[in-house]
Amino acid sequence: MSEPSGRLDTLRRRAVSVPVLVFAAVTLTLVAPIWLPFALLVDLVRLEFRFPIARLLAFAVCWCWIELGGVVRAFGLWLQGRSGDVQAHYDLMAWWSASLFAALGATIGMRPRWEGAEALAVGNAVVFARHASLGDSLLSGWVLANRARLHPRYVLKKELLYDPCLDVVGSRVPNHFLDRTANDGSTELPALRLLAAGMGPRDICVIFPEGSRTNAAKRERALARIAEHDPARAARMSSLRRLLPPRWAGSTALVEGAPDADIVLAWHTGFDGLDSFRGMIREVGRPMTPVRFVTRRIQRADVPDGDAFGPWLDEQWLRLDAEVDAALTDT
């Protein structure tokens, strides 16, 4: 796709997504006297005394206004001629993630805790993070941009460009919005290598090696696909209980693009089951699992290159799976 047509697609997308966001924010706020008592009544009828529907709708209102605030602030930077000011946009990302977690705490009672801060005392690393829900990428953003004050470069699915704030801000700092339907890695993998290249002490690359939100059905399908061409690997990864088998290609490309970068492994709890609206209602309707984000750094000298990297990543993923399973079993 040529650059002009790319700009045209961007304008068309934002011509829809931004007005929809404004409409949703204003409408949800104005009709709150209607939907709030109705949602509370529905929760009572369902004997849901933690009021999950009402609380999720309250968060939706907060999300709309925080999202709109991010778009307005990004527009203000553009008016000032600062659309290329990377630090200003990372500051905006830090504000956005902190505001959303403040809203999650106020409406749903979700308050995150970061463990292993020493792993992110400096950047120049590639982060491999688990992926369990619609919100755990926000959790990593809160840790990396707000708490660690690093400059994350994300590998994200291109469908997230329909989030207006992520579209605008995410396109002004180094990120790659991946086409997951692409069968040929001739364009995607070089783009990932380029994304990871040239990282400084405040830069960090982030990828979710599972490639999709985790659940048992996806895990079974992933293992079945692996078994078709690598039965030994499928057998080795069959002990996974919480995570999906990692996809090697994208992770390998990032590591190849940053040959001197360390590896940071990240897992979390508190977002399991939040991969659908029904799951959100179910999980918010019960006492929340503590939200933990745990990071561990591995020096690059301890990471194998070439064909040995994939099996090494599998070993690390099995260890992460055991840690997540132990954490969730104890809660």
DSSP 116-137: -GGGGSS--EEEEE---SSSHH
Does residue 210 contact residue 223 with C-beta atoms inside 8 Å? no
User: Residue 307, exposed/middle/buried by CB under 10 A (0-12, 13-18, 19+)?
Assistant: exposed
Q: Which residues lie across from 262 on neighbouring strands?
A: 125
pLDDT in tens, the chain (331 residues): 333 447 888 999 999 999 999 999 999 999 999 999 999 999 999 999 999 999 999 999 999 999 999 999 999 999 999 999 999 999 999 999 999 999 999 999 988 999 999 999 999 999 999 998 877 888 999 999 999 999 999 999 899 999 999 999 999 999 999 887 666 566 889 999 999 999 999 999 999 999 888 888 899 999 999 999 999 999 999 999 999 999 999 999 999 999 999 999 999 998 887 877 888 888 888 888 889 999 999 999 999 999 999 999 999 999 999 999 999 987 6
Edge to edge, what strands does the sheet with 125-129 contain?
A: 112-115, 291-298, 262-269, 125-129, 203-207, 151-157, 176-178
pLDDT for the residue 124: 96
Angle at 215 between CA 212 and CA 329, to 5 degrees: 125
pLDDT of res. 184:
53
Report pLDDT for 3: 39
Q: What is the pLDDT of residue 182?
A: 65
pTM over 0.85: yes
Q: What is the pLDDT of residue 2?
A: 35
Position 40 scores a pLDDT of 96
CA angle 172, 11, 277 (to 5 degrees): 80
Looking at residue 196, the DSSP 8-state letter turns out to be: H
